[in-house]
A = this chain, B = another copy of it.
Amino acid sequence: MSRMPVDERRAALVAATLAVVERDGIAGASARAIVNEAGMPLGALHYAFTSLDALMDAAADAVTDQERIAAEPPPGAAAGSLADVLREGLAAYVDLLAAHPARELAFLELMLRAARARLDLPAGPGRHARSYAVMAELLEAAAAATGTRWASPTDALARHAVATLDGITTTWLADHDTPAAHATSRFLAAALAHHAVPPADQEA
């Protein structure tokens, strides 16, 4: 690793941390395991970060900054009603979860680590803020694509959606019941659709 910019080193170490946590869990994410994953000497960690804790914090930030909600616009253009669009999008997340459970598990482990550090802090602007924003954009896009509009503020609905997706994740990790997870995602889609004004009642 001769002569590599510090920022690049930090990014590589963060990526290695995510890989190790995904493979071995947060308990297996030791300094040696991480630098080994990154192909770096042991000293590189404390050269790029002040401590292992700081690296873990950076990794947690990278996860929350990353857009967890894989929200590609539907390939088939005209999908149907708002409820259909929501159903499809949420089902896509459940499929992603069932395909890569270790990744979601790693995200949750890092999130709980950060949550414990913040337990005593008074309020906090929220680590999920970016997730909420992304989800709100998704909801608005879905409404726009189906000629619908939301009857409730999208940021509130977005938080409900993100929370429920988190719950779908933890619950699936507990019982590995993919059909049931899909059912819950449909439950969520229907619940969200209830907060939209149907196309007939539009142009008010």
Contacts and interface: CB of A to CB of B under 8 A. Distances in A.
B166 A184 contact: no
A160 B175 contact: no
Secondary structure class of chain A's binding surface, majority of residues:
helix
A171 B159 contact: yes
What is the count of identical protomers in the complex? 2
B175 A168 contact: no
13 contacts: A26-B27, A122-B176, A123-B177, A128-B174, A156-B180, A159-B171, A159-B183, A160-B183, A162-B167, A163-B184, A164-B164, A164-B184, A167-B170
Interface string A97-135: 000011001001101111110110111111111000000
B190 A194 contact: yes
A165 interface: yes
Q: What size tier do the contact residues of chain A reach?
A: 35 or more
B124 A176 contact: yes
Interface in A146-162: 156-157, 159-160, 162
A180 B128 CA distance: 13
